[in-house]
Structure 1
């Protein structure tokens, strides 16, 4: 007798849709209680062309929603020239940003080719040089946006998602900038949460795990009298879960936008990675 024909196997088979429905209901209910980032002039700081698609697609597609009244721009700190095709990857980044819904990508995406910030899996970038490029980019973005100042950074956290030294250097450089350019101390800094490898490839299912952990953390903070907002009313965390259409758009940003990067193992990433379908951002208030 096959497993599914046995009473126990049949019970498990019938229980799966119920469990999936409960998972969806709980996750969406928890996410609906999180206020998104809104009314902000945002600069997404990435290290290489394709970072925006591989790691930040849910965030970008959510933040460009006109109802949130955000301005979304991307600052890329290298052309990704490790294999000598940086000129191709620059063009691909613009195509990807356009697919993800970034308005006026040719003006909203800045790509730098600073010799001191090479595309490297082994070399960290000097935080003061990263800060200098940030300063230059903010001037350029202000010119492109009729004098409107960037008030929010979004970038990688100290784990860099993949422990990539270039990713990690962006956080250090952003903090250096906020410490040493005091005129801009009011800028908010959100970081993308790095999760253990066993959660990295759970796709949408990690949204359920994250919301459970977030709920436990929220209960603890409420018990200590803390709330989920910073002093200026910005959310201390934000979660973005893509629907099927947005998930497919994120995949297209890689398969159609970043064609040069679609080697065999990236197919596994765009299929299984939780970052292709779900992002959770945390407000970083530690300037050290």
Structure 2
């Protein structure tokens, strides 16, 4: 402790100590200013496609909590394609998903969350899932959602993993192929947009909220000039990207969705994830218009 005090008393140490809060404030201001230039997803009927119970909390909690805000007038529903039965806990995990979704703000979870348990689509770290079968289950789920809502306008937006699947998990990666297969081959009530969650390198996964600054800075460098020329809207007037940054309350809610919702999954390494992962506090989505 005396050594630290002596360093702070030195001109260099004092300068660094005084600059840190200024730099942090500048980082926050830049990040929030950049986020404000991204139009929100509004008035959409959204289906979040996940592979396992707990994906919604571990990877998509900032997205869910933002999109369920009443001011945006979205509907948010979740399709989970397995019960996560790799360790024989499928029945427990299916119930945990409903509790987690409710904590994250998804309304009427008994009608807004569908979980599948198909024999050919099971939780596996080594097996990919057939895209045509996933598309069939998507079609069945969307029909059930329409019936539960009294035949109102169907889903017009998918959100799922990108081709990196955050962790290269084959089940995660399969969902993108299944969603694209559905969009290519199935008749739809309306045009469906597809947004994917950006996979970042491993050294950025565990810097928590700091990656919001890194992401917005990279986004500004890569797309700033192009956006000025072409605008921020993509296909059919939809935003080309969407970014969601949680506040402290939302971050703590995301953690509770794991610690209180998915109790069966809280092994030691997941404590590190819910504390350090950027996906617990920040999501960036990209509009995917390539259906090949």
Name the TM-score class by shorter chain.
over 0.9
**Separation in 1, partners of 2:211, 2:12:** 28
Unaligned stretches of 5+ residues in structure 1: none
- Out of 205, 210, 215, which is 2:215 matched to? 210
CA shift, 1:185, in A, is 7.2
SS state at 1:183 partner:
coil
Matched, 1:53 2:57: yes
What does residue 138 of structure 2 align with? 134
The alpha carbon displacement at 1:199 in A equals: 0.4
Q: Say yes or no: does 1:247 pair with 2:251.
A: yes
Tell me how many residue pairs correspond in the alignment: 287
The answer to whether residue 161 in structure 2 is matched with residue 161 in structure 1 is no
Q: Which residue of 2 aligns with 1:237?
A: 241
**Which of residues 43, 50, 59 in structure 1 aligns to 2:47?**
43
Match of 1:108 among 112, 119, 128: 112
Residues 222 and 279 (structure 1), Cα distance of their counterparts in 2 relative to 1, 3 Å cut? closer
Q: Shift in Å at residue 227 of structure 1?
A: 1.9
Measured in 2, the distance between the counterparts of 1:116 and 1:98 equals 28
Aligned to 1:273: 277
Distance 2:167 2:198 in 1: 11
Aligned with 1:73 (options 72, 77, 83): 77
> Residue 25 of structure 2: which of 3, 21, 28 is its match?
21
Distance 1:221 1:145 in 2: 40
Q: Which runs of no fewer than 5 residues in structure 2 stay unpaired?
A: none
Instruction: Please state whether the residue corresponding to 1:74 is helix, strand or coil.
Output: strand
Cα deviation, residue 182, structure 1: 4.2
Do the aligned partners of 2:209 and 2:282 also contact (CA within 8 Å) in 1? yes
TM-score (norm 2): 0.96
Deviation digits for residues 115-141 of structure 1 (CA, Å, limit 9, x no counterpart):
110100000001111111101111011
TM-score, normalised by the number of residues in structure 1: 0.97
**Post-superposition, which runs of at least 4 consecutive aligned residues in structure 1 deviate over 2 A?**
182-185, 217-220
Offset, 1:219: 2.2
Aligned partners of 1:158 and 1:171 also within 8 Å: yes
Structure-1 separation of matches of 2:143 and 2:199: 30
Q: Tell whether the 8 Å contact from 1:48 to 1:119 is kept in structure 2 after alignment.
A: yes
CA distance in 2, matches of 1:48, 1:184: 27
| C-alpha distance 222-235 of structure 1, shift in aligned 2 (>3 A) | closer
Superposed CA deviations along residues 207-262 of structure 1, whole A, max 9, x for unmatched, are 00110111122324146x32211242110100000000000000000000000000
Give distance in 1, aligned partners of 2:188 and 2:283: 30
Give the conservation status (yes or no) of the 8 Å contact 1:179–1:185.
no
Q: 1:170 aligns with which of 137, 160, 175?
A: 175
CA offset at residue 9 of structure 1?
0.7
Q: 2:179 aligns to what SS in structure 1?
A: helix
- How many Å apart are 1:53 and its aligned residue? 0.1
Question: What is the RMSD of the two structures over their aligned residues, measured on CA atoms?
Answer: 1.1
Task: Give 3-state SS (helix, strand or coil) of 1:279's partner.
Answer: strand
